[in-house]
Structure 1
Amino acid sequence: MRASLTRALAASAVFCGATATCTKSRAADSSIANATYDYIVVGGGPSGIIAATRLAQSSSKSVLLLSRGQGPTVDTGAVGTVDFNNTLTPIDVPGLSTAVTSYNVGDQPLFNAYLCTDVDAFASCVFGGGATINYMVFPHPPERDFDDKWPVGWKWEDVSAAADRVWDLNPGTMLPSMDGKRYDQGMFETVSKFLDAQGWSEVDQVAEPNNKTNVYSHPNWDIGVSGGLPKRVGPLRTYLPLAEELDNFSYRLNSTVRRVIRNGGQVTGVEVETESGVETVSLAAGGKVVLAAGPWGTPRILFNSGIGPVDQIQTVAEGTTGIPVPPKEDWIDLPVGQAIKDHPIFSIYVQTADDWTSFNTSTVVEGTNVNDVELYTEQGSGVLTQGYHRMIFWTSNVASDKITRYYQGSVSPQGQGLFLIKAYLTHGATSSGKMGIQANGTVGFTQMPYLQSQGDQEGARMFVDEMLESVSSYGWELTKGTTNASSILSAYSQGDHYIGTANIGTDPKTSVVDTDVKVWGTDNLYIVDSSIHADLPTGNTQAITMVVAEAAVDKIIAADSAPQLQKRQH
């Protein structure tokens, strides 16, 4: 039975000021269009919320955060709640993370309502970004994720203070149930015995983030107590409330930034599209625009603004969107979209003879599971406090190119004695691809980034071969078509952990932003989201994306306080 929800917010722009009260007042919209702002932050995902919060805290300068998406929580204006609690929307309840397709927002599934329709890949267009709809896997990055390929000024010793600030507000948890118990642990017990037999070790992944070879752990989830209950958190719940206390901060939902408006290298504002039309929001003198629209949205804005490869800008100029690009002499030729990376996923289904099964979320959606619902709503405990996966593991190998590659396995129960390993090729992968824009404004891959290098192909096969041999030798059955390495590797899926579309570096020929996260060739345009990341992380990208945003906003704040001596480069 599909639960029905009312559309959370109308498609018209919604303004939210320091009181966090959202209205659809055209007067409020007009006040934004007629005002100027010291900082305009574009993108309401984790990076944008973190950047806007820290900028607002750093001074009395005005900060406007623009989000393309609608609010997914009651606090951000959503009115569609779960049947058993009128203060909770489906995305709030950790145990319902796999059940969001069972709910509607208006006339479409909630999950679809929160996804971008103009990206030929998975991308979220909801306030809170990917952290609003993902499975909340939240591994803290090991030091090597920065030390191996990030430029000087971005090594672990440089960003560790930023990481500490993230963990202070948003550490995640391995034990979300308020009674201190873990629930539904049959699969963990089964798989841990198997891994122990292979010589692996159980670790506390938060206490030992650098230990990523032949280890397994209970998941660290992006969950925290909010309003007295364990909920999905992320910056929407951990950072945004801090910004909402400040008079110099405001945000607006359902507002799509099409392009930055610039005069040469000087950005003067942004062009915003709402259901009511297109308007311009202007910067105050000395102001800055900070892009945080994600690894697909940020490149699109750059292309539309005359920044990127010439052929991509030309596509916009000749396209059907009607977006005016700058004069050709003002185009800034940068390698936007030329170094996209992602984690490929290899799925392995394993059938055991053990007596456990997967949690049936449909019983909650349909209202028949009274016990688990009451345990959650009355005591903040039970299986509904937990995410989807029951175990995360890591290992590594070295292919003939002598590069160490890391693999993460996210393990979940699927049925009676059946579990799924979703194994990611992560840090150390050498493949990359390209993305671009179509005439209608849709963005997508122009060259896939998965298993392009011989080393990645070799390393991935080594990992899968070893895992299959270990499973078979243990007496378990490989099933659902995942019985040999060739079929598993050829059926890889996208990890949806995209990075590098506006990569950081020290040379405008090979990077899009400098080490102060300023776009080459501009005076006051910055990027703070995962598009600037220099390398794939060892685990899911949620935590490292937040760390990078914290470190990046430091650079922007420092630029405001430093003498402006450096001339524009490019």
Structure 2
Amino acid sequence: MFGGKAYLWACALVAFASSSLVVDAQATYDAIVVGSGPGGLVAAEYLSRDPKVSVLIIEAGPKSLAATGGTVAPDYAQGRGLATFDIPGEYESTIYNKNYEQYRVDWITDTYTWLGKLVGGCSSINAALYFRPPNDYVTNMQWPFSAESMVAKMDENEKTHGATDKPSTDGQWYTQEGYNVVAKAFLAQGYSEKTINDVAARNSKSKTFGHAPFTFKNGRRDSPANAFWGKMKTRSNVKLVTDTKVDYILHSAGKATGVMYGGNKAQLSTRGTVIMGAGALGTPKVLIQSGIGPADQLNMLKNNNNFPGVQQGDLITNPYVGRNLFDTNVVFASFSHPNMKTFRYGDHPSWAIDQYMNKGGSGPWSSSGPVLIGYENFQVQGRLYEFQTTVLTHGFGEFAKRDDALTTSLYVNNPEARAASGFDSNGAWRAFKEGNAYFGTNRDLVAMQQYAQHVVSAMTAQGATFLSGASDAAGVAKWVAANPGLIAHHFGGSCYASSDASAGSKRCADNKLRVLGTSNIFVADASAQRDGTVNPYGFIMYIGREAAGQAASYIAAGGAGSDWAIQKPAQGATCGKIEENVDYSGNDVGNSKSSNAEGCCAICQTTNGCNAYTWTNYNGGTCWLKSAKGTTKTSSGSRSALLNGSASAPAPAPAPSASCGKIEENVDYSGNDAGNAKSSNAEGCCSICKSSGGCKAYTWTNYNGGTCWLKSAKGTGKPSTGARSAVLN
């Protein structure tokens, strides 16, 4: 015995709020950890094992789990040594709950997020799903450390935190109706049932499924706020400051010398380091407001008196801070099935709570909800995509109250679309200042459509009813296209580390996880990931351990020696002169928001396959990203340019594909809609249609800057000025 919402958010953001606790302004530290998220706490615990290394952890938010001193608890757990965040079954009742607003970040101005602002960061409020990436993940993203190092350090971390796919203390699985329904559907499609994190399974994920794994232990959350903070909280060389904002990092000649927080100063020793654990949307914010980041951001903020960190005389230009931001793309597909028995955590079933509290943490309340994880990889338009299904025990949204419903959360784990975070001209921090991370390329959209079609087909073949939309291929494609922009909170990439030190590299951090342009600022969070794969929480803990090892080596060497010389970021491609009132026709690879054409250059640089762009004032300003310049045409207000080094000769005008018929001018194919996708011209619709399940024809119009209306059949043609239509042969 111990003494509502269906979102599977992963890692979060920590390190800014109002100050309530202070430390001696004259104290010096060997390591200052900015943010107590999973990476930050793992790094702090490792460094503080050496009693001669002093560690300060600065956290924006309040205490969380009972191990941190958190005392907020539901009535049934009062006086039982549990905080709300310890109890897995309370997960859905905390996230997106207005009564817990103090635990989420509140400085992102352009979108509503539930990124953690509390001790433990995301790992204290998420579903605690814990995954180990395949070994080839680190190779494919040019990670600076070997797969062997990743495996060894994740093994090491697991000696401290719990890792199980049987969260109930009695060793039983509960609420398995959804598991059984989806398992039957997947087995019929040639999937194999595996233990998700076993060596063989994690290195051969495609077309496998298994029980959801968590960082739970003894029926409670065993995330870093319990497991790692619990090990170090009595060490005299560790100090945790909560409810305290990090203002900026002090630095001179590329070396951090201290941190300003809530108007107070913490100084670094001469061998000291800063560990950035503020999350993929927080670490670039702190860096930029410290005078470390893209030149345009630093120059803009120099004229704003609210940013004293940028007034330091020693600015560090790193063009890739805040760029390359990605998030997993997700849609939530609800089904009903005669064999399904819904379990709703938001209902707080008394029998489940009673079993949990009085039978040693057993039963369904020992889980946060997900029951099954499935994977599949396949090529879409020449790119390998990694997909994931996460099964929940209830319906989503309008279907949440059905007693026969379940949800399959469908993820594109490795989207190609990228965005960029930054400050706007008013000094407000924007998560998506530029770019579109959600179906931001046509290929990402088509990938999700195809995967959703696979899952819906598999489920309906075994007697399930697709509740979220029409279940035919065209209907599923249309449903996916109508649900873009859903935030998964699996952010990463905004200061990625890489072994690639070539002139064309776009890395933000070096092969020691140091922010380029600095000698002793290390990245220990999801910012360091170049690409996505599975939920990132487990990998972020590993990054914390890797960063701690590098920081420990720096401290031991006193920062001396050629190994610790400052590495400068590559300046990358630049853009040619902007052509005024010119549109580069065709060759679209995506589009992204920017208030001016000049902003398109950096977006194009960080978008795979982009070699040119056209900017228009559509929707407040849009960059139409191009694989090549193509043919040009006069277009009032359009502004276009090439990346330097890209072929400047016009690409041949796209010819109608052999798989598409002749385009009918000023003709609209009425009805039979199967989805839509952006394209600046009708010629681009052919390949989009071919790659979209159920598409047999299309109509292109200039709506929204150019849209392909995908059709399951030609239907009736009717005159429509400007419309252009064709069928697949």
Q: TM-score, normalised by structure 1?
A: 0.87
Deviation at 1:454, TM superposition (A): 4.2
Q: Kindly indicate whether residue 166 of structure 2 is the aligned counterpart of residue 180 of structure 1.
A: no
Partners of 1:486 and 1:328 lie apart in 2 by 54
Instruction: Name the residue aligned to 1:546.
Output: 541
Percent identity (aligned): 21
Q: Kindly indicate whether residue 552 of structure 2 is the aligned counterpart of residue 565 of structure 1.
A: no
Deviation at 1:482, TM superposition (A): 6.3
Partners of 1:239 and 1:320 lie apart in 2 by 39
Q: How is 1:229-244 mapped onto 2 (pairs within 5 angstroms)? A: 230-244=219-233
Residues 285/375 of structure 1: CA separation in 2 closer, same or farther (3 Å cut): closer
Give deviations 1:301-347, integer Å, cap 9, x for gaps: 11111111112223333346343414566332331111111110022
Partners of 1:260 and 1:301 lie apart in 2 by 8
CA contact (8 A) 1:513 1:519 kept: yes
CA contact (8 A) 1:316 1:441 kept: no
Residues 472/184 of structure 1: CA separation in 2 closer, same or farther (3 Å cut): closer
Partners of 1:146 and 1:282 lie apart in 2 by 35
Letter in 1 for 2:410: A
SS in structure 2 of the partner of residue 84 of structure 1: helix
Instruction: Name the residue aligned to 2:635.
Output: none
Residues 373/486 of structure 1: CA separation in 2 closer, same or farther (3 Å cut): same
CA contact (8 A) 1:405 1:459 kept: yes
Residues 327/355 of structure 1: CA separation in 2 closer, same or farther (3 Å cut): closer
Give deviations 1:462-508, integer Å, cap 9, x for gaps: 21222223333333221133642222233031221111101112448
Residues 171/179 of structure 1: CA separation in 2 closer, same or farther (3 Å cut): closer
Q: Kindly indicate whether residue 40 of structure 2 is the aligned counterpart of residue 48 of structure 1.
A: yes
CA contact (8 A) 1:99 1:361 kept: yes
Q: How is 1:196-345 mapped onto 2 (pairs within 5 angstroms)? A: 196-207=187-198, 208-225=201-218, 230-273=219-262, 278-319=263-304, 321-327=306-312, 330-345=315-330
Partners of 2:547 and 2:284 lie apart in 1 by 18
Q: Aligned pair count? A: 526
Residues 239/324 of structure 1: CA separation in 2 closer, same or farther (3 Å cut): closer
Q: How is 1:27-38 mapped onto 2 (pairs within 5 angstroms)? A: 29-31=22-24, 33-38=25-30
Instruction: Name the residue aligned to 1:25.
Output: none
Partners of 1:149 and 1:481 lie apart in 2 by 36
Structure number with higher relative contact order (C-alpha < 8 Å, ≥ 6 residues apart):
1
Letter in 2 for 1:565: S
CA contact (8 A) 1:397 1:404 kept: yes
Unmatched 5+ residue regions in structure 2? 5-16, 395-401, 569-729
Partners of 2:95 and 2:225 lie apart in 1 by 21
Residues 454/375 of structure 1: CA separation in 2 closer, same or farther (3 Å cut): closer
Deviation at 1:84, TM superposition (A): 1.4
Instruction: Name the residue aligned to 2:524.
Output: 528
CA contact (8 A) 1:150 1:535 kept: no
Partners of 2:346 and 2:26 lie apart in 1 by 48
Instruction: Name the residue aligned to 1:448.
Output: 436
Instruction: Name the residue aligned to 2:55.
Output: 63
Q: TM-score, normalised by structure 2?
A: 0.69
Give deviations 1:345-365, integer Å, cap 9, x for gaps: 02211121225112344335x
Deviation at 1:48, TM superposition (A): 0.7
CA contact (8 A) 2:191 2:209 kept: yes
Partners of 2:377 and 2:478 lie apart in 1 by 20
CA contact (8 A) 1:136 1:222 kept: yes
Deviation at 1:102, TM superposition (A): 9.2
Deviation at 1:211, TM superposition (A): 2.6
Give deviations 1:408-433, integer Å, cap 9, x for gaps: 11111223221111111013x32222
Letter in 1 for 2:539: I
Residues 267/39 of structure 1: CA separation in 2 closer, same or farther (3 Å cut): same
CA contact (8 A) 1:373 1:384 kept: no
Deviation at 1:516, TM superposition (A): 0.5
Instruction: Name the residue aligned to 2:344.
Output: 359
Partners of 1:400 and 1:102 lie apart in 2 by 37
Deviation at 1:91, TM superposition (A): 1.7
Instruction: Name the residue aligned to 1:411.
Output: 391
Q: Kindly indicate whether residue 91 of structure 2 is the aligned counterpart of residue 97 of structure 1.
A: yes
Instruction: Specify which of 412, 430, 433 is matched with residue 419 of structure 2.
Output: 433
Instruction: Name the residue aligned to 2:64.
Output: 72
Q: Kindly indicate whether residue 105 of structure 2 is the aligned counterpart of residue 116 of structure 1.
A: yes
Partners of 2:464 and 2:305 lie apart in 1 by 55
Q: How is 1:480-559 mapped onto 2 (pairs within 5 angstroms)? A: 480-481=468-469, 483=471, 484-492=476-484, 493-505=486-498, 506-507=500-501, 510-537=506-533, 539-559=534-554
Partners of 2:417 and 2:261 lie apart in 1 by 35
SS in structure 2 of the partner of residue 270 of structure 1: strand
